[in-house]
Amino acid sequence: EAGVVQSPRYKIIEKKQPVAFWCNPISGHNTLYWYLQNLGQGPELLIRYENEEAVDDSQLPKDRFSAERLKGVDSTLKIQPAELGDSAVYLCASSPGQKGGSTDTQYFGPGTRLTVL
Amino acid sequence: DAKTTQPNSMESNEEEPVHLPCNHSTISGTDYIHWYRQLPSQGPEYVIHGLTSNVNNRMASLAIAEDRKSSTLILHRATLRDAAVYYCILRDVNKFYFGSGTKLNVKP
């Protein structure tokens, strides 16, 4: 079974440019997460989807970040415009979304490493 | 959000057991304790989880203190492939906080 797929793996852009990341979760997984990971730190949740609904986007900087999950399958995270401080790894994860979410296992993609010059 | 405290780094010799501690003194009754690890240049991967009782799987064991304010991830025989950052996470339905984790170095 294929894991979580992310593209691109690496992206270098100049500040003020837009950038988009794509994620294809594991087939059948209802829940999708986007995380940001700065160097030397643990991942921080940006947004969580249950099917196509964003159920937790409290940590998403909405002035420049946006996300969508059309049809409740793959998802896109966009930054416009990018700033120097956005340089980080952007991780996507999915989980089956079982009842009793406390035991739901998340499966992570390899991430997209963004460098903003 | 409930937080966890882990040592920044630990070192182990290959083929020896490793005990990775985690303190979570503010854990609530419904929080599950999850452990994930992140190998270099990869996304995190699930290791194990538990609520109150000790748990074993093919990757590791999880020992949970009786008051649930701390837990220990046990790797029974560390290999070079176990070198990674290990995250102890408290999980309720709506929260999942990673923290900074413990970087495990395994010496041959």
For residue A98, what pLDDT is reported? 61
Contact A108 B44 (CB under 8 A): yes
Q: Give the closest of B42, B96, B100 to A41, CB-based.
A: B100
User: How many Å apart are CA B45 and CA B67, to the nearest integer?
Assistant: 27
pLDDT digits (tens, 9 = 90+) for B42-96: 999 999 999 999 999 999 999 999 999 999 999 999 999 999 999 999 987 777 8
Q: Check whether A1 has a pLDDT greater than 80.
A: no
B9–A contact, CB cutoff 8 A = no
Looking at residue A102, the DSSP 8-state letter turns out to be G
Contact A42 B87 (CB under 8 A): yes
Q: Check whether B1 has a pLDDT greater than 60.
A: no
Q: Where are the alpha helices (DSSP H) in B3-90?
A: none
Tell me the shortest Cα–Cα distance from B95 to chain A, in angstroms: 9
For residue A101, what pLDDT is reported? 65
Tell me the shortest Cα–Cα distance from B25 to chain A, in angstroms: 18
Edge-to-edge strands of the sheet including A65-68? A5-7, A19-24, A75-79, A65-68
